[in-house]
Amino acid sequence: MKLSDLIAQFITDQLTGQDAVELQRSQLASRFGCAPSQINYVIETRFSPARGFSVESRRGGGGYIRIVRVPMGPSALLQHTVAALGEQVDQSGAQLLLYDLHKAGILGDECFCALKACLGDQALSAVPQPLRPRLRAEMLGAALAALAAEQ
């Protein structure tokens, strides 16, 4: 089992029977013998809004990570995802989010493939590289908001 899988399983176990858990990034990193950035990676990829979680993070000495399970239907999940999207999304982040929504059954195969293609660097090649993450976030947000309205 990969380290990221072990960390994700530990966090999932902590959430068992609860709607939220607060963790210390540095304590998790010490426990698993990894860098805090590995903890960040697991949280960003396994506990995303598209997977039904809300994550609050506070850095510093008394910092924590609060992961909240947010049970919701497809429309609410899409709206939650749009709200958590941010101003910029790189290609891999967009693909991961689309994959999560596809896996959750919210995006069908055709919609998943079309959005993945439209948000990729190849489709955005006419846009200067520094502007792509912002445009990608705007396009993804608009597409998901439209899907939420259809639900």
pTM, two decimals, is: 0.65
Q: Domain of 33? A: 3-69
133 neighbors 90 (Cβ within 8 angstroms): yes
107 and 142 inside one domain: yes
| Interatomic CA distance for residues 22 and 56, integer angstroms | 9
HSE of 24 in the Cβ direction (CA atoms, 13 Å)?
Answer: 8
**Which three-class secondary structure state does DSSP give residue 66?**
strand
CATH number at residue 19: 3.30.56.130
Q: In terms of domains, do 144 and 109 share one?
A: yes
**Number of folded domains in the chain?**
2
Q: Please give the full DSSP string across 53-69, using - where no structure is assigned.
A: EEEEEE-STT-EEEEEE
- In tens digits, the chain (151 residues) has pLDDT values of 799 899 999 999 998 888 899 999 889 999 999 998 899 889 988 898 778 888 888 776 667 899 998 877 888 888 878 887 889 999 988 998 898 888 888 899 999 999 999 999 999 999 999 999 999 999 999 999 999 888 7
Same domain, 90 and 129: yes
